[in-house]
């Protein structure tokens, strides 16, 4: 049945040991992939669940499909979900990850392949007009998402397309295309160029982001970063719980329009078994965090560089060893932060 649904050869696997329900089934006119037991997960793929049926289902999921977890504890390593309008409805299930495990949602530009549509800036980026003059607009249309790379001496962070340092980056949506340039909106920064970057040498690539993922009522235990979003657009997380993870529980990087509804995050631990960061937002725009419940972290919510348009409502953050909510990126990197209707500063001071 798996092979018939998803066009693959059906791999050998052990039978479920607890409920005997089928591994996947039709649910009306929707396809549902249903996992019942740890034994079943261990028996699929070629020794690594990443290369097995489960990852293939996530990658091939289409609008209206569901990936449904029931009545079990599951282990996956470095699980990546790439697709559009993917819904993971846990129904209260618990998913347990190995040391390197976690749900890692990310756009396809992180795969390392050269983008199909690219161009270069034809001069400094016109921030006042939100326009980028480019060498060629061929292949770009309104509604596209962009990855904008800016050569930046001294920048040493991780970059989606390039190994090593030397580039800052952000994502944006194309509002319209003119004869000479691209007018953009919903950029992941207030300004387009990184501090100290040479904007006239910026490279612009058409981005294939993960659009509209939903992650609902799932408890994750263990792993490195159990819930991580990169280059995603309009994501929704509802009533999810994370506990006993690595240095970060939930990370949001290079995302536009993320909603976290009642996240519960407990007792993060980093590699030295010290308290970690419960939730970090960086290089992202329009993030809303409703009724977070966080306990036992070093930082409850960390707003790192490039976090703009963050709204936090009704936070309850207990036993934070350093800061409940921190905005440490500096005024040039972090801004537009509102907690329960009150705008907070973007400096290194702890907030209530």
Give the per-residue pLDDT at 226: 74
Report H helices in the chain: 2-6, 38-42, 53-60
Max avg pLDDT among 67-76, 125-134, 235-244, 266-275 = 235-244
More confident residue, 53 or 46: 53
Write out 271-312 in H/E/C secondary structure: CCCCECEEEEEECEEEEEEECCEEECCCEEEEECCCEEEEEE
Provide the pLDDT for residue 258. 92
Radius of gyration of the chain (CA): 21
Element (H, E) at 164: none
Residue 210: pLDDT band with limits 50, 70, 90: confident
> Each residue of 120-130: pLDDT tens digit?
888 877 766 67
* Structure-token pair, residue 313: 């409502």
Task: Confirm whether pTM is higher than 0.75.
Answer: no
- 11 φ, ψ to 5°? -75, 155
The answer to whether residue 56 scores a pLDDT higher than 60 is: no
Torsion of CA 221, 225, 227, 228, to 10 degrees: -170
- For residue 225, list its beta bridge partners: none
Q: Rounded CA gap, 127 and 117, in Å?
A: 23
Which residue did the predictor score with more confidence, 82 or 2?
82
Q: Using one digit for the tens of pLDDT, what is the confidence trace for 313-338?
A: 998 888 888 888 887 544 345 556 77
User: Does the pLDDT value for residue 58 go beyond 50?
Assistant: yes
Burial label for 245, CB within 10 Å (0-12, 13-18, 19+), is: buried
Domains of the chain and any CATH numbers: 1-26+35-61 (no CATH), 75-107+210-344 (no CATH), 114-207 (2.40.30)
Residue appearing with tokens 């921030």: 127
User: At which residue do the structure tokens 């509804």 appear?
Assistant: 261
Distances in whole angstroms, Cα of residue 97 to Cα of each of 8, 38, 53, 54, 103? 26, 11, 17, 14, 9
What average pLDDT does the chain have?
68
Q: What is the pLDDT of residues 35-45, one digit of tens each?
A: 443 333 333 33
Give the residue among 35, 39, 37 at the shortest CA–CA distance from 58.
Answer: 35
């Amino acid at each position: 049945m798996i092979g018939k649904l998803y066009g693959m050869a059906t791999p050998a696997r052990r039978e479920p040991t607890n409920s005997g329900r089928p591994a996947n089934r039709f649910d009306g006119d929707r396809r549902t992939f249903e996992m019942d037991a740890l034994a079943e997960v261990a028996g699929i793929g070629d020794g690594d669940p990443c290369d097995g049926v489960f990852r293939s289902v996530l990658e091939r999921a289409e609008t209206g499909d569901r990936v449904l977890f029931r009545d079990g504890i599951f282990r996956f390593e470095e699980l990546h979900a790439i697709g559009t309008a993917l819904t993971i409805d846990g129904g209260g299930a618990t998913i347990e990850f190995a040391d390197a495990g976690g749900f890692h949602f990310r756009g396809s530009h992180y795969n390392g392949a050269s983008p199909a549509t690219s161009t270069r800036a034809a001069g400094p980026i016109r921030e006042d007009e939100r326009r980028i003059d480019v060498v060629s607009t061929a292949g770009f249309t309104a509604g596209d998402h962009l990855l904008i790379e800016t050569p930046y001496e001294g920048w040493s962070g991780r970059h989606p397309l390039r190994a090593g340092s030397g580039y800052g980056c952000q994502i944006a949506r194309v509002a319209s295309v003119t004869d000479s340039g691209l007018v953009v909106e919903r950029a992941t920064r207030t300004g387009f160029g990184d501090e100290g970057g040479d904007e006239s040498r910026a490279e612009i690539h058409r981005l294939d982001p993960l659009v509209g993922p939903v992650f609902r009522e799932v408890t994750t235990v263990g792993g490195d970063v159990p819930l991580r979003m990169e280059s995603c657009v309009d994501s929704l997380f509802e009533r999810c719980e994370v506990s006993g993870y690595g240095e970060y529980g939930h990370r949001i990087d290079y995302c536009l329009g993320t909603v976290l509804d009642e996240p519960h995050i407990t007792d993060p631990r980093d590699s030295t078994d010290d308290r970690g960061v419960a939730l970090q937002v960086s290089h992202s725009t329009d993030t809303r965090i409703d009724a977070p419940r966080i306990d036992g972290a070093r930082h409850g919510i960390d707003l790192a560089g490039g976090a703009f348009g963050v709204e936090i409502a009704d936070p309850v953050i207990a036993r934070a060893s350093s800061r409940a909510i921190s905005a440490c990126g500096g005024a040039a990197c972090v801004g537009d932060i509102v907690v329960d209707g009150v705008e907070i500063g973007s400096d290194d001071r702890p907030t209530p």
